[in-house]
Amino acid sequence: MGEFVTLETTDGIGTIKLTRPPMNALNTQLQEELRAAAHSATGDEGVKAVVVYGGEKVFAAGADITEFTKVGYQEMAIRAEALSSAFDAVARIPKPVVAAITGYALGGGCELALACDWRVVADDAKLGQPEIKLGIIPGAGGTQRLARLIGPARAKDLIFSGRMVDAEEALRIGLADRVAPAGDVYRTAVELVKPYVTGPSLALRAAKLAVDGGLNLDLASGLALESQLFAGLFATDDRVEGTTAFVEKRKPTFTGR
């Protein structure tokens, strides 16, 4: 698909792979290719679930800092929105998405992992938001998604200090969902989302929208969103199949319609 980002689909699972040696630094070109891959995964009905993967050695060690030395406020005020929205394109993929993390997921790399639904982390991986050490803050969702995921106090600890956490701590605080040997990370990520390949795609889409959308709403508005999405699923073939299969005591065969 692109020079640094590709999307390959096998058995209904699309792999968005970053390939920009040596550390998958997230320069502007990679960000835009990531956005394009996310849009492709969103629009391709053959993609039922997604793995975001940086390869066997590193997920992504952060932004390309050499770009930061060349820009001032005026230019970054324009570019910052594009950076954030590229990651947001991954968060908005209406399908189950898991990050398969090896090596380092730092700065923008950690923010990319946060844009996924789950994170499978290698047992020797390191994660963190070290931007404060450069005199800046996370600018692609780190201050927002991290606080929502692990709570504001823990998020402030990581963001204020810029320290890295290992896989054990990441799992303990909720930053990681599963830990696996480095050589098994990709396989473990695939196994995590594999059950959703044959699941009810529209219901999964609605569930993701309800959870993610509800986090930005008060409870009453979130419940209203849930009710609307719930009712809408009664117009789908998969709802007919699912409820009929339950009554007939058989396994449903969902079509995504």
Distance separating alpha carbons of residues 60 and 108, to the nearest angstrom: 7
Residue of 3, 75, 81, 111 with catalytic role: 111
C-alpha count within 13 angstroms, C-beta hemisphere, residue 3: 9
Catalytic residue at 131?
yes
Helical (H) or strand (E) element with 210: helix 201-214
Distance separating alpha carbons of residues 176 and 122, to the nearest angstrom: 10
Residue of 131, 168, 241, 248 with catalytic role: 131
Distance separating alpha carbons of residues 101 and 120, to the nearest angstrom: 6
Catalytic residue at 32?
no
Q: Are 110 and 135 in contact (CB under 8 A)?
A: no
Q: Are 115 and 87 in contact (CB under 8 A)?
A: yes
Q: Are 117 and 88 in contact (CB under 8 A)?
A: no
Q: Are 208 and 117 in contact (CB under 8 A)?
A: yes
- Name residue, tokens 């789908």: 236
Task: Cite the active site residues.
Answer: 111, 131
